[in-house]
Amino acid sequence: MTYDKAAVRTILDQALADGRTSLSAPEAKLVADAYGIPTPGEGLATTAEGAAGLAAEIGFPVVLKIVSPDILHKTDAGGVVVGVDSEDAARDAFDKILANARAYRADAEITGVQVQKMLVTGGDVQEVIVGAVTDPTFGKVVAFGLGGVLVEVLKDVTFRLAPLTAGEARAMVDGIGAHEMLEGVRGAQPVDKEAVGELIKRLSQVHLEELRGFRSLPLRTS
**CATH for 182:** 3.30.470.20
* Whether residues 71 and 149 fall in one domain: no
Domain termination residue (choose one: 67, 85, 118): 118
* Whether residues 97 and 137 fall in one domain: no
Residue 62: CA atoms inside 13 Å, Cβ hemisphere, count? 31
Average pLDDT along the chain: 88
- The 3-state DSSP class for residue 62 equals strand
Of the two residues 220 and 2, the one the predictor is more confident about is: 2
- Identify whether the C-beta of residue 147 lies closer than 8 Å to the C-beta of residue 221: no
pLDDT of res. 222: 41
Please give the Cα distance from 53 to 56 (Å, whole number). 5
Is pLDDT above 60 for 220?
no
Lowest-confidence pick of 95-99, 104-108, 126-130: 126-130
Band of pLDDT at residue 91, cut at 50, 70 and 90:
very high
Domain termination residue (choose one: 62, 89, 118): 118
**Helices 25-34, 5-17: inter-axial angle, 10-degree rounding:** 160
How does pLDDT run across 144-177, given as a tens digit for each residue? 998 866 777 778 899 999 999 999 999 999 999 9
pLDDT of res. 1: 67
* Whether residues 102 and 199 fall in one domain: no
* Whether residues 125 and 77 fall in one domain: no
Band of pLDDT at residue 132, cut at 50, 70 and 90:
confident
Domain termination residue (choose one: 103, 118, 133): 118
- The 3-state DSSP class for residue 160 equals strand
Band of pLDDT at residue 44, cut at 50, 70 and 90:
very high
Query: How much of the chain exceeds pLDDT 70, in percent?
Result: 90
* Whether residues 202 and 214 fall in one domain: yes
Band of pLDDT at residue 185, cut at 50, 70 and 90:
confident
The β-bridge relationship of strands 112-117 and 62-67 is antiparallel
Of the two residues 47 and 156, the one the predictor is more confident about is: 47
- Identify whether the C-beta of residue 137 lies closer than 8 Å to the C-beta of residue 159: no
Tally of domains in the chain: 2
Band of pLDDT at residue 197, cut at 50, 70 and 90:
very high
* Whether residues 208 and 221 fall in one domain: yes
Peptide bond into 69 cis (omega under 30): no
* Whether residues 181 and 78 fall in one domain: no
Please give the Cα distance from 91 to 84 (Å, whole number). 10
Query: How much of the chain exceeds pLDDT 90, in percent?
Result: 54
97 lies in which domain range?
41-118
- Identify whether the C-beta of residue 161 lies closer than 8 Å to the C-beta of residue 204: no
* Whether residues 92 and 166 fall in one domain: no
Band of pLDDT at residue 77, cut at 50, 70 and 90:
very high
What is this structure's pTM? 0.75
Question: Which run of H or E residues covers position 156?
Answer: none
